[in-house]
Amino acid sequence: MDELDSAIVARLQADARQTNRELARSLGVAPSTCLERVRLLRKRGVINEYTVQVDLPSLNRNVQALVALQVRPLNRQVIEEVRRSMDALDEVLAVYVLTGGDDLIIHVAVPDVDQLHSFLIDRLSDRREIVSFRSSVIFQHDRKLVVPPLP
C-alpha cells in the first residue's frame, strides 16, 4: 500500500457514501485513477465491504455485554459449532475465538439487564458444551472509525 492507497482507505472509512468524483477531488487525483485504485483495493481484499453503523439504543439494544465462554470438550468441532450457534443468535453482535483461559467471547446487545439475564440463562446455561461463562456489562464503547495501516 502506498500513500494514495492509504489515503483512499482512510477517506472511505470516514465516509463510504461519497462518490468517486468527491473522493478523487479530496485526494487531488483524476476520477479514473481513483476508481482504478479503489477497484484494486477491493480485488486485493483491503476493502472488503461497505457497512452502515447504527445507534444500538435506537434498535432497543440499550445494554451491551461481553460474555466469556469456556467449552468442553475442547476441540475444533465443538468450538466451531458453538461459534456458529452463537453467531446465529439475534442478541449476538460479534463472536471471537480466543487462546488462553476463555475459548470464546461474544458481544451481545439487549434491551435491558433483565433480558441479559434471560439470555445468559436461557441461551447459554442449557448448552452442555458450555461449561462456564462470565459476563461484563459495557458502560462505554469507543471504536476507531478510521484504522490506519501499520508499517
Instruction: State the fold for domain 56-138.
Output: Alpha-Beta Plaits (3.30.70)
Architecture of domain 3-43: Orthogonal Bundle (1.10)
**With bands split at pLDDT 50, 70 and 90, how would you rate the model's confidence at 1?**
confident
Residues in the chain, total: 151
Sheet with 63-71, edge to edge strand ranges: 92-97, 104-110, 63-71, 130-138
pLDDT in tens, 51-94: 888 999 999 999 999 999 999 999 999 999 999 999 999 999 99
Instruction: Give the global pTM.
Output: 0.83
pLDDT tens digits along 93-148? 999 999 999 999 999 999 999 999 999 999 999 899 999 999 999 999 888 888 88
Q: Round to whole Å and give the CA distance between 28 and 49.
A: 24
Domain locations along the chain: 3-43, 56-138
